[in-house]
Chains A and B, each alone.
Chain A
């Protein structure tokens, strides 16, 4: 498949080469020759002869030249990989979301304006996946942080094996999300069902409970990690403040609320941010745990809101990330998938910035 550069691309590339670069060199050398200090915006020393600068520019300043070579060569590997595989796809993605890209016409996409975004707006499944993701993330952030904080309070106590407990609670975090999903699929589908009673029907086969099961799994994985962040913060709480409040007659709960909590606000900001972002980006675990959820219809409130048939069979835990992937590859609509991804990106950006902004306001400096 031949995909030559389009004429406008050639023009775009040639502009810097033909125009900007010579201009830049010209300005650069003229400044050097006539007044090298103008670069650094320092005062010009006019009493030195101009010839001196000419000689300096061409023969001297070896170190400066060497520095520049080092600067470029040292920067190159990281910058090259980063630009090539992160920044270029990111910027291309902005454009590709406005083309008829379908995976088969790579390099020959045609600009179609906002068609993909219009298709996205009409896609009920996208709204559904977004609503699921938001509910899931909201609950997940709360549950993980509460559990992690309680665990942290437990392991900062002066117990005999506190290091063992810390390491133990941390351990699930070592396993990757995908592998972990299979472990829990087994536990829910095989191990727990053998107990009978309420466990007879697997939690992940029931659309009503599948999300809570997922939250339990992710909490098991992530709480130990978040716990360590709280532990680090709790250990930095000055003991004299705690002692002082003890003498003033505050009980444990009052101490926690009035002394400890305000002092660990910074950890709270970080922990909430991390859990929020990872919840929104959740993909591996939900896929391996339930293949994006047991089949069910739309929830009634959702069906009423969008005027769709509540009996439509969908995967109940289709999170945004799953929806993006499915749209792109199962439906061969990479353009629409990319449009969704970009909306997802901006949504995540705004929501995490808002969260950090509001949490930061509560932080205090000692």
Chain B
């Protein structure tokens, strides 16, 4: 009996200490965020004098935000909407096109479909650095030969993301569709659906879980991507994205940390808000995508 009490007390000590360690680590992890938040509400002078202290006036943050939005050469507002549009349009395009491709690849059992699937998979091992230089050249040559501009246009970036997102998306969809029984599709055909209707009315709704996973995986990647937009759009492009705007700001106003940190805060805030609402989906999506 006594040893049991002893055991219980040990357990309690262990639990409390674990809790304390976790909280300390968590605070350590949040320290950079904390610094960003307090310093984005400071003027340059204040940052230099007291980088660790709380700001004198929290309303300074509005001043900084308005300052950033007002600078013509940064085009922060436009960049934000470009990012929003490019990310959401690319997500939809990648999702639908990859799901369509994966579905016909699973449901057609032939050597050709197997070969095309393998062809898609081979794209997963290609790092962007190998493709980036010829890609810029290709976009220029396509413009010369067809007259359609691809550089610094929405469709150019979205098509590029569609291409680079296809391997992983097709792979994940392929694995998921294989596990869906074919019976429901056959039932739909017997009821008079055409093949396209079967896909859009029957298969696509079933794909929801994996679709969400891919939205998260591809969304994080596209929203934060820097190298592809730099090459395909250019740092002074019309459809430049948010990371480019932040990089430009940091490049032009080298030492104005108040502005840089405010822009950093503004760039990451949308994701944090999204994370608060869809935390479970995001963590699960990113992790399960990796494991497969």
Q: Which residues of A line the B interface, CB within 8 A?
A: 1-3, 66-67, 70-71, 74-75, 77-79, 81-90, 92-93, 96, 101, 103, 106-107, 151, 154-155, 157-162, 164-179, 182-184, 186-187, 190-191, 194, 220, 224-225, 228-229, 232, 267, 270, 274, 277, 280-281, 283-284, 288, 321, 324-325, 328, 334, 337-338, 341-342, 344-345, 348-349, 352
Contact = CB atoms under 8 A, between A and B. Distances in A.
B283 to A, nearest CB: 6
B-side interface size class: 35 or more
A288 B35 contact: no
A185 to B, nearest CB: 8
Given A92-B134, A161-B22, A182 B101 contact: no
Nearest to B137: A106
A220 B29 CA distance: 7
Contacts of B227: 283-284
Contacts of B190: none
Interface string B101-127: 101110010000100100110010111
B261 A183 contact: yes
Given A2-B144, A78-B166, A174-B275, A179 B264 contact: yes
B26 interface: yes
Contacts of A158: 15
Nearest to A335: B133
Contact of B226 (A74, A103, A284, A338): A284
B113 to A, nearest CB: 8
Interface string B217-240: 000100111110000000000000
Interface in B25-39: 25-26, 29-30, 32-33, 35-36, 39
13 contacts: A74-B100, A77-B97, A77-B101, A81-B97, A85-B159, A86-B166, A175-B224, A179-B264, A190-B48, A225-B287, A281-B128, A345-B129, A345-B130
Most chain B beta-carbon contacts within 10 A, residue among A77, A166, A280, A281: A77
B123 A86 contact: yes
Given A89-B131, A186-B39, A190-B257, A170 B283 contact: yes
Given A75-B116, A176-B223, A228-B286, A348 B163 contact: no
B243 interface: yes
A82 B21 CA distance: 47
A18 to B, nearest CB: 22
Contacts of B35: 183, 186-187, 191
Interface of B: 15, 18-19, 21-22, 25-26, 29-30, 32-33, 35-36, 39, 47-48, 50-52, 93, 96-98, 100-101, 103-105, 108, 113, 116, 119-120, 123, 125-135, 137-138, 140-141, 144-145, 159-160, 162-164, 166-167, 169-170, 194-196, 199, 220, 223-227, 243, 246-247, 250, 257, 260-261, 264, 267-268, 271-272, 275, 279, 282-283, 286-288, 290-291
Contacts of B243: 176, 178-179, 284
Given A77-B162, A167-B279, A174-B271, A154 B145 contact: no
Given A186-B39, A345-B126, A81 B116 contact: no
A78 B144 contact: no
A228 B283 contact: yes
B265 to A, nearest CB: 9
Contacts of A71: 104, 108, 113
A79 B101 contact: yes
Given A81-B163, A167-B283, A75 B100 contact: yes
A82 B134 contact: no
Nearest to A151: B25
A84 B260 CA distance: 37
A82 B264 CA distance: 32
A233 B257 CA distance: 41
A324 B227 CA distance: 13
A77 B26 CA distance: 44
Given A155-B22, A175-B271, A178-B243, A184 B159 contact: no
Nearest to A320: B129
Contacts of A169: 25-26, 29
B128 to A, nearest CB: 7
Contacts of B138: 84-85, 88-89, 92
A150 B177 CA distance: 36
A47 to B, nearest CB: 27
Contacts of B101: 74-75, 77-79
Contact of A67 (B18, B119, B120, B195): B195
Contacts of A167: 275, 279, 283
B220 A84 contact: no
B260 to A, nearest CB: 6
A288 B32 CA distance: 16
Nearest to A71: B104
Contacts of A151: 25
Contacts of A157: 15, 18
Contacts of B26: 164-165, 168-169
Contacts of B131: 85-86, 89-90, 93
A154 B290 contact: no
Residue of A82, A164, A337 contacting most chain B CB atoms (<10 Å): A82
Nearest to A96: B134
Contacts of B164: 85-86
